[in-house]
Amino acid sequence: MPVTRQLLRPVSITFILLTFAIALLINLLPWQASVANFAPDFVAMMVVYWTLNQPRRIGIATAFLLGIVMDVGDGNVLGQHALAYTVMAYLTLSRQRLIAVFPFWQQALVALGLLTLGQTLMVLIQLALGNNFVGWAYFVGNVLAAVLWAPLCNLMLSHQRKPVVVNL
């Protein structure tokens, strides 16, 4: 069920920060290199998720900061992830009211589009810096991210859902 049709408990900022920390943690796991392209970018998913569900709190600035942190973690050129996340957060915000009422499978498609766009930006930056294109497999992780979107949303919402009380 989409987020807006339910009465949810308010979410604390600590919880949001915790989810970002966990996403970063997953992105930094040492096996990331062996599964390389198949691992979805969890930080990007979290950025889209929270911008969608808490647009008052999480927005472009947060996305930018997380992007910088990812760049340092990866040893990349600074600003690559930052730009991608910023644009993703903006596009999410601009259609937030619409997307937030979509069912999860449609949101997953939107997320797929956004993540792909973000990665395209990163590819463009790298091409501009003189690197080679790394092949289409680079985008495979996004498909996986889209598949994981609904379970992830349910998992995140389980924290906010009220326990069902049967009142007669």
Partner 1 sequence: MQSNQPAFFKQGPKPLTRLLVFAMLSLALVIGDARYSMLGRVREQISVLLYPLQWLATAPFKAIRTGNDFLTRQADLQAENRQLHDAQLVARANEMKLKALETENTYLRGLTAAQASQPRASQLTEVLYNGRDPFSAKLIVDRGDKQGVHAGQIAIDSRGVVGQVVRVQPLTSEVRLLSDRNHMVPVEVERTQMRTVVYGMGRQQLLEIHNLAPNVDIQVGDMLHTSGIDGIYPAGLPVAKVVKVDRQATSFARILCEPLAEVDKHRFLLLLDAPGGRPAYPVEETASAPATKPKRGR
Binding site for partner 1 (CB under 8 A): 3-4, 8, 10, 21, 24-25, 27-30, 32-34, 36-37, 39, 41, 53-57, 59-61, 63-64, 67-69, 72-80, 82-83, 86-87, 90, 93-94, 97, 100, 122, 125-126, 129, 131-132, 134, 138
CA torsion sign, 100 to 145 to 150 to 9? negative
Distance CA 20, CA 26 (A): 10
Whichever of 64 and 149 has its CB closer to partner 1, that residue is 64
Comparing C-alpha atoms, which of 67, 146, 163, 63 is closest to residue 111?
146
Whichever of 82 and 156 has its CB closer to partner 1, that residue is 82
Whichever of 73 and 151 has its CB closer to partner 1, that residue is 73
Whichever of 28 and 147 has its CB closer to partner 1, that residue is 28
CB of 84 to partner 1, least distance (A): 8
Burial (CB count within 10 angstroms: exposed 0-12, middle 13-18, buried 19+), residue 133? exposed
